[in-house]
Amino acid sequence: MKVLIVTTPVKPIGQGEGGGVDVSLHHIIRALTHRQHEVSVIAPKGSQLDADVDAKLIAIDGELQQSCQVHAPNTRFFCDDDCVLSRMWSAAQAHQDDVDCILNLAYDWLPIWLTPFLPTPVFHLISMANENQQVANALQRLNHTAPERIAFRTHAAANTFSFSRPVTTLANGYPLAQFPFSPDGDGSIAWVGRISPEKGLEDAIRIAVRADMPLKIWGFEQDSDYRQALTREFPPSILQWQGFVPHQTLLQQFQHCSALLMTPKWVEAFGNCVAEAICCGVPVVAYNAGGPAEIVENGTTGFLIRPGDLDQAAAALSHVCQMNRTEVRRQGHQRFSLEAYAERLEIWMGLQRTTHSRHSASKRQDPPRPLALG
């Protein structure tokens, strides 16, 4: 079937900045085209898709929107003729008759509000938690009238909204052929994340000290005072700073670790590194909260522990070192392959329906009820 993806109006795709939307978009295209769906993408002018993905790009000129994330939760939305966002959705309106459904990746008020104005079903994949009151209002109203049109990565993210009806969760999917595997752990612990207090690195260090295992730390240094304080307090035999490395390098490096440790102080909306570690066969010890609690299967791909319980975490680390890494990887591949992700996307967006459902009359039919697919 034919899917039109409308990306974020915050920046062009593939401009080397990397970032979550770029990676997500490419994974979704690969997943859908692998299942023989035709994909076209509306994105801001200057966007470029990876050379190996098969999708038609429709580039739209206009003023880029600012990300909701950088503003206060009560920030209002500008929306007019100069904005790339309104122009992207005019293009979506113009192309809607040529496709079976539209997939919105933008965290913005306009596309959510516009949903009932388009006869072709618009689905919204929401990658962030509740960050803006206007977006939340529009999503909550849509959840009341058409809950099947909204999907989140995790329940943890969905639960930051006040939804009256259940929503679909999709987790994520990865090109696993590029994921390395090491049958044995090297006795170290991996920690991946921004170096910033809300990510709870100090808990991870204290757990590593108790387990007497070195901690390899990957991630962008957002708060250098925080890092310096930790460096002063703990010996280099425990703290092994790895810096911020390209994603493929990260996978190559952390595949050898005996476990990944995830100890955030805030609610993680998903936690890509958790799913990716599991797909590399690296078991995970994570606080039982947020996205990681929905990714780790307790006792199978790692252990979920009481947040802040450093002793329980240290004990769990010695347990996960005994886990069968081949089985951890198998479980990861089963849930987080692009194929499995494509199937979840297909079920959510009703792409498995028969060909005759392409006609506009049946476009208005309700897709299946929301499910936790991830």
Min separation Cβ 313 and a second copy, Å = 42
Q: Residue 61 Cβ, how far from a second copy at the closest point, in Å? A: 13
Closer to a second copy by CB, 134 or 301: give it.
134
Comparing CB distances to a second copy, the nearer of 66 and 334 is: 66
Q: Using the minimum distance from each CB to a second copy, give the nearer residue, 94 or 229.
A: 94
Which residue lies nearer to a second copy by CB, 50 or 366? 366
d(CA 340, CA 334): 7
Q: Give min distance, CB of 200 to a second copy, in A.
A: 34
**Which residues 6+ apart lie within 8 Å of 246 measured at CB?**
none
Nearer to a second copy, 104 or 263 (CB): 104
- Cα(239)–Cα(306) distance, integer angstroms: 24
Q: Are 207 and 313 in contact (CB under 8 A)?
A: yes
Q: Are 314 and 212 in contact (CB under 8 A)?
A: no
End-to-end, the C-alpha distance of the chain in Å comes to 22
- Our CB check for a second copy shows the closer of 85 and 328 to be 85
Size of the chain, expressed as the number of residues it contains: 374
Q: How far is the CB of 348 from a second copy (least distance, A)?
A: 24
Q: Would you tell me how many other CB atoms lie within 10 Å of the CB of residue 42?
A: 26
Q: Quote the least distance from Cβ 129 to a second copy, whole Å.
A: 18
Give all strands of the β-sheet with 101-104 in edge-to-edge order: 56-60, 38-44, 2-6, 101-104, 122-126, 150-152, 168-169
Report the nearest approach of a second copy to the CB of residue 119 (Å).
Answer: 7
DSSP bridge pairs for 260: 190, 284
- Residues in the site for a second copy, rule: CB under 8 A? 76-82, 86, 90, 93-94, 109-110, 113-114, 116-119, 134, 137-138, 141
Residues contacting 293, CB < 8 A, separation 6+: 156, 286, 287, 304
